[in-house]
Amino acid sequence: MLADFGFGILLVTFLASLYSIVASLYGHLAHRPKWVESARLSMQLTFPLLTLASLTLIYLLVSGDFNVKFVYEVTSRDMPTYLKVTALWGGQSGSLLFWSWLMSAFATAVTLRKWERDREFLPWVTMVASITIAFFLGLNVFFENPFQRFWQTFQGVDAYTFRPANAIPFAPEDGRGLNPLLRHPGMVIHPPMLYLGFVAYVIPFAFAIAALITGRADDRWIRLTRRWSLTAWLFLSLGLVLGGRWAYDVLGWGGYWAWDPVEIAAFMPWLTGTAFLHSVMIQEKRGMLKRWNMILIILTYSLVVFGTFLTRSGVLSSVHAFAQSEIGPAFFIFIGVTLVASVALLIYRWDSLHAEGQMHSMFSREALFLLNNLLFMGILVICFWGVISPLITELVTGSKVTVGPPYYERAAGPLFALLVLLMGIAPLSAWGHITLKNLAAQNGLELEKRYALAIAKLLWKPAIPAVLVLIGLLAAGITNIYALIGLTFAALTASITLYEFWRAARARGRAQKEHFFLALWNLAGRNRRRYGGYIIHLGVILMAVGIIGIEMFQSETQRSLAVGESIQLAGYTVRYDSLAQFPANDGRWVTRAVVSVFDKNGQFLTELYPRYDVYSDGQPMTIPGVRSTLADDLYVLLINWEGVTSQIAPFKVYHNPLVNWLWLGAFVFIFGTLIAAWPEAEREPLPAQARKTKTVYQPGD
Amino acid sequence: MRNMWNDGFVKKAFLALFLGLLLALMGVGGVLAQDTQPPTDDEVNAIARQLFCPVCENTPLDVCPTEACKQWRELIRLKLSEGWTEEQIKQYFVDQYGARVLSEPPRQGWYWLIYLVPVALLLVGVYILFRAYQSMRAPLPAQEASDPVASPLPASLGDDYLRRVEEELKKRT
């Protein structure tokens, strides 16, 4: 009964979102503000409705109503309640509902306030958001109804939305339960973070489309959605990092990122989103790159839907899966239509989006930001092609190929290294301009040379620590050329960034007679965007160090050990002490080994407990025992797949140098994003009349 | 006399060479004898890491827990113990199951596209960027002289950097 209620709500919400689209269009075309207002209200109605639908589904999940197919598929009696709640996004139909729910929450939040101020944009924002919500709800209503129930007919048991003739409801004894791999706290919050990131990107896209439709060529849409873009970016980054951490903890292959197409699907909107985050600054400051920013946000939106599509449709395993998947073609059509419509709008407004400013040098901030965008786009192309080329190959040649990690690492590695370097140099160009003037006064050099000189002048002091790091690395006997390049770039960029902080704080401290740290605090507080950005950069550098550590210097070994025997790896000795097998209270069968870890002097370090759990449905899960320090992780796996007895057990040991810098960097990164996105008493953007972006040089340009 | 010595030298040289070869062969034989010990897990994994079984999408063979993959690893172990090289073993799996078992496609025929398209697109990107630089390029305008940054601030503040920082904070407050 409750399931029918839930489906009824979905249907009503779907109709409300369709009405919202039609009413906002009609209101505009017929100049009837009441219709526009009605569209807004009906769009806002979707949020309480979808909340009700989601709560209904959660209630069904928690109460274990296995008559509902979705409940049967993702829960079982022995699951704890919190997992039953989070099972909402543990399967396809539920996660689509969850997507729409988040989307309607964000869209409502946007249109609830400041409607009068943004009267120009918001009706169109309503329409774009409603189209998106309507699409995802449509998937739920027509293809993937989470409220489908099992019915017993003469033909047997099957799931239907509506009761077939002569059918009686059927409820299995117990559900299949959530995939054990997904029963991890990281997996519980990883999908919502990704979804929040995905959904939040719809907001800047909606404003961009509104700007295209209304013909406003200035940066107002960017200023209005700056915080939304940052929020989206924050959540997407969080989602990616949590996913990596989850993989590291649970998947049992000693890594955090496998270049799996599903990972890449979430990574691609992040790439365009990051490029967007940078290039909008050029439009805000200089009135340039207007078309490019439009292209970036349109791409981001398409990739968000594409990402949801890739993870949901099953297209990745094979093109044939795509044909079988019911929602595959729907996604394909939706992405196609929205992309074509957006691009058509962009072309329509192309001429009005001309650049107001001009670029003066290859070393100017604008030029370096463009280079940044090129690198991000380069990585995007590599990722996109890596995901779709096996599908194209299968279509053309009929045979399948794997495009695996070596392809991505070889192609994207150098681009990442360049990005790290650019991250250091680009902020310098902010000051390059004024130093340039001084240099110009001193001599009559050519512009390019002056810029280069200005940057060199700013660069030499921070370069000293980088050179010292390089010498230290060489002295330590590191000969891997890629690691040397990567770590030197990282050191240089870190030192430039820290130097920027130090210089600014010292200057302010001297002028305002403030203590150094107070000055630092005030600086960061006053220009959160820049200094938050620098902190993000520092976080990325820490992450880069961790990534270089594990990618370049990871070592591993595997052997079957009898009790008392040991294996050596990277100066560590791991001794197998004992093994225990016991049932856990949630139906798992746990096999847990005890191993002792010694350092190279034979000093006892710690005990680790690698184990594997077999769930009641036979699904195994390998949990490593990890000794973590800032220098390295010793990651010990008891590998169930080779047959374990109490006498002999196979172990796989990974030595992952510096990997914790990756997680540490992620914290710094998130801290920086929070600083950059933290609300400040913002001057209201200028009201409605078209305002030309002023092309003046402001500090920090 | 000299000839005789020469002959003797040649004979000795041949003998030395013969003995050397014999020793070398014995040495190799010894190594071969050692190699008949079962291959280690690490040797198996080193090859397995580069292979993907057709069933387990995107999971490299060395860490795949399924029964089928376990059998593949045993097969690698068997081939290794029979003295097959890494290349032969990989080729064996390619012959049996197609190119998809490799972690990246072989560089031949159609598969070249997989490698070349990103490079081509990247070059197009560089070209577009270059054009963008050129089209947006302009000499420094004359108004530079009256740059707002250079505008009234106490001369006591000294260096440009400090002035910029202060200017910025003023703007923000």
Please identify among residues 9-48 of chain B the ones whose CB lies closer than 8 Å to any CB of chain A: 40-42, 45
Give the span between the Cα atoms of A453 and B89, in whole angstroms.
Answer: 56
A399 touching B (Cβ < 8 Å): yes
Give the pLDDT score at A135. 95
Tell whether A140 and A21 lie within a shared domain.
yes
Residue of B nearest to A555 (CA): B42
CB-based contact A527 B110, cutoff 8 Å: no
DSSP H or E run through A397: helix A365-397
Report the amino acid identity of residue A387: V
Tell whether A41 and A158 lie within a shared domain.
yes
Give the span between the Cα atoms of A381 and A377, in whole angstroms.
Answer: 6
Tell whether A50 and A19 lie within a shared domain.
yes
A320 CB-near residues (< 8 Å, 6+ apart): none
Q: Is B160 exposed, middle or buried (0-12, 13-18, 19+ CB in 10 A)?
A: middle
Sheet holding A648-657, edge to edge: A555-562, A648-657, A632-638, A625-628
User: pLDDT for A257-316, tens place per residue?
Assistant: 888 888 898 999 999 999 999 999 888 887 888 889 999 999 999 999 998 888 765 555
A456 CB-near residues (< 8 Å, 6+ apart): none
Give the span between the Cα atoms of B87 and B95, in whole angstroms.
Answer: 12
C-beta of residue A75 within 8 angstroms of C-beta of residue A61: yes
Tell whether B89 and B68 lie within a shared domain.
yes
Q: Is residue B151 part of a domain?
A: no
Helices (H), ranges, A513-589: 516-526, 528-553
Total domains in chain B come to 3
Residue among A298, A299, A273, A272 nearest A378 (CA): A272
Does the pLDDT of residue B167 top 80, yes or no?
A: no
Q: Is residue A676 part of a domain?
A: no
Give the span between the Cα atoms of A55 and A85, in whole angstroms.
Answer: 9
Residue of B nearest to A621 (CA): B65
C-beta of residue A310 within 8 angstroms of C-beta of residue A319: no
Residue among A283, A297, A298 nearest A344 (CA): A298
B94 touching A (Cβ < 8 Å): no
Percent of chain B with pLDDT over 70: 57
Handedness of CA B89, B94, B97, B102 (dihedral sign): positive
Distances in Å between the Cα of A542 and the Cα atoms of A240, A426, A665 are 16, 18, 5
Q: Report residue B147's pLDDT band, with 50, 70 and 90 as the boundaries.
A: very low
Q: Is residue A201 part of a domain?
A: no
Q: Is residue A385 part of a domain?
A: yes
Tell whether A21 and A83 lie within a shared domain.
yes
Q: Is residue B167 part of a domain?
A: no
Give the pLDDT score at A655. 94
Residues of A in contact with B53 (CB under 8 A): none
Tell whether B93 and B112 lie within a shared domain.
no
C-beta of residue A307 within 8 angstroms of C-beta of residue A191: no
To probe the interface with B, which of A362, A381, A518 has the most B CB atoms within 10 Å? A381
CA A686 to chain centroid: 32
A590 CB-near residues (< 8 Å, 6+ apart): A581, A582, A583, A584, A611, A612, A613
C-beta of residue A286 within 8 angstroms of C-beta of residue A693: yes
Q: Is residue A346 part of a domain?
A: no
Tell whether A89 and A5 lie within a shared domain.
yes
Q: Report residue B143's pLDDT band, with 50, 70 and 90 as the boundaries.
A: very low
C-beta of residue A419 within 8 angstroms of C-beta of residue A372: yes
Tell whether B11 and B54 lie within a shared domain.
no
Give the span between the Cα atoms of A197 and A54, in whole angstroms.
Answer: 19
A619 touching B (Cβ < 8 Å): no
Tell whether B72 and B91 lie within a shared domain.
yes
Minimum distance, in Å, between the CA of residue B140 and any CA atom of chain A: 6
Q: Is residue A249 part of a domain?
A: yes
What single string gives the DSSP state of each residue in chain B?
-HHHHHHHHHHHHHHHHHHHHHHHHHHHHHHHHHHTSPPPHHHHHHHHTTBB-SSSTT-BGGG--SHHHHHHHHHHHHHHHTT--HHHHHHHHHHHH-GGGBSS--SSGGGHHHHHHHHHHHHHHHHHHHHHHHHHB-PPPGGGGG-GGGSS--GGG-SHHHHHHHHHHHHH-
Tell whether A382 and A278 lie within a shared domain.
yes
Q: Which of A179-193, A675-689, B117-131, B150-164 has the lowest mean pLDDT?
A: B150-164
Tell whether B65 and B78 lie within a shared domain.
yes
Tell whether A327 and A255 lie within a shared domain.
yes
Give the pLDDT score at B168. 58
Tell whether B44 and B77 lie within a shared domain.
yes
Q: Is A460 exposed, middle or buried (0-12, 13-18, 19+ CB in 10 A)?
A: exposed
Give the pLDDT score at A493. 92
pTM for this model (two decimals): 0.86
Give the pLDDT score at B19. 59
Give the span between the Cα atoms of A525 and A540, in whole angstroms.
Answer: 21
Tell whether A391 and A427 lie within a shared domain.
no
C-beta of residue A46 within 8 angstroms of C-beta of residue A104: yes
Give the pLDDT score at B31. 46
Give the span between the Cα atoms of B52 and B104, in whole angstroms.
Answer: 10
Domain of residue B71, CATH code: 1.10.8.640
Q: For chain A, list residues with pLDDT below 70.
A: 312-325, 360-362, 430-448, 450-451, 641-642, 680-701
Minimum distance, in Å, between the CA of residue A197 and any CA atom of chain B: 25
Tell whether A32 and A58 lie within a shared domain.
yes
Phi-psi region of A581 (alpha: psi -120 to 50; beta: other; left: phi over 0): beta
Among B58, B118, B168, whose Cβ lies nearest the Cβ of A411? B118
Give the pLDDT score at B27. 46
Residue of A nearest to B101 (CA): A402
Q: Is residue A623 part of a domain?
A: yes
Q: Is residue B131 part of a domain?
A: yes
To probe the interface with B, which of A383, A402, A682 has the most B CB atoms within 10 Å? A402
Report the greatest alpha carbon distance in chain A: 94
Report the amino acid identity of residue A190: H
The strand pairing partners of A386, in sequence order, are none
From A178, A197, A222, the end of a domain falls on A178
Residues of A in contact with B122 (CB under 8 A): 378, 381
B140 touching A (Cβ < 8 Å): yes
Tell whether B98 and B114 lie within a shared domain.
no
Give the pLDDT score at A642. 64
What single string gives the DSSP state of each residue in A211-254?
HHHHT--SSHHHHHHHHHHHHHHHHHHHHHHHHHHHIIIII-SS
Tell whether A649 and A595 lie within a shared domain.
yes
Q: How many residues does chain B have?
A: 173
Give the span between the Cα atoms of B102 and B80, in whole angstroms.
Answer: 18
Give the span between the Cα atoms of A273 and A194, in whole angstroms.
Answer: 13
Among B52, B98, B168, whose Cβ lies nearest the Cβ of A404? B52
Tell whether B43 and B96 lie within a shared domain.
yes
Tell whether A399 and A425 lie within a shared domain.
no
CA B136 to chain centroid: 38
Give the span between the Cα atoms of A12 and A18, in whole angstroms.
Answer: 10
Provide the residue range defining the domain that includes B88. Answer: 39-103
A417 touching B (Cβ < 8 Å): no
Give me A381's structure tokens: 């192309």
From A378, A403, A428, the end of a domain falls on A403
Query: Counting one residue from A and one from B, how many pairs have CB atoms under 8 Å apart?
Result: 171
Provide the residue range defining the domain that includes A618. Answer: 555-660
Q: Is residue A78 part of a domain?
A: yes
Report the pLDDT averaged over residues B25-31: 46
A480 touching B (Cβ < 8 Å): no
Tell whether B67 and B57 lie within a shared domain.
yes
Q: Is residue B15 part of a domain?
A: yes
Handedness of CA A47, A48, A49, A51 (dihedral sign): positive
Give the span between the Cα atoms of B167 and B155, in whole angstroms.
Answer: 13
Tell whether A254 and A390 lie within a shared domain.
yes
Percent of chain B with pLDDT over 90: 16
Decide: helix, strand or coil at residue A616: coil
CB-based contact A697 B148, cutoff 8 Å: yes
Total domains in chain A come to 4
Residue among A683, A698, A689, A700 nearest A218 (CA): A689
Distances in Å between the Cα of A235 and the Cα atoms of A91, A238, A310, A539 are 21, 5, 19, 16
A284 CB-near residues (< 8 Å, 6+ apart): A219, A222, A223, A693
Q: Is residue A540 part of a domain?
A: no
Give the span between the Cα atoms of A583 and A428, in whole angstroms.
Answer: 60
Give the span between the Cα atoms of B136 and A357, in whole angstroms.
Answer: 8
A395 touching B (Cβ < 8 Å): no
Give the pLDDT score at A355. 79
Among B63, B104, B167, whose Cβ lies nearest the Cβ of A253? B63
Q: Which of A272-286, A309-323, B47-61, B148-162 has the lowest mean pLDDT?
A: B148-162
Tell whether B10 and B20 lie within a shared domain.
yes
C-beta of residue A194 within 8 angstroms of C-beta of residue A236: yes
A639 CB-near residues (< 8 Å, 6+ apart): A252, A558, A612, A622, A650, A651, A652, B65
Tell whether B7 and B60 lie within a shared domain.
no
Report the amino acid identity of residue A531: Y
Tell whether B54 and B85 lie within a shared domain.
yes
The strand pairing partners of A607, in sequence order, are A596
Q: Report residue B155's pLDDT band, with 50, 70 and 90 as the boundaries.
A: very low
Give the span between the Cα atoms of A607 and A600, in whole angstroms.
Answer: 16
Give the pLDDT score at A60. 95
Give the span between the Cα atoms of A392 and A376, in whole angstroms.
Answer: 24
How many C-beta atoms surround the C-beta of residue A449 within 10 A? Answer: 13
CA angle A78–A82–A86, rounded 5-degree value: 105
Q: Is residue B165 part of a domain?
A: no
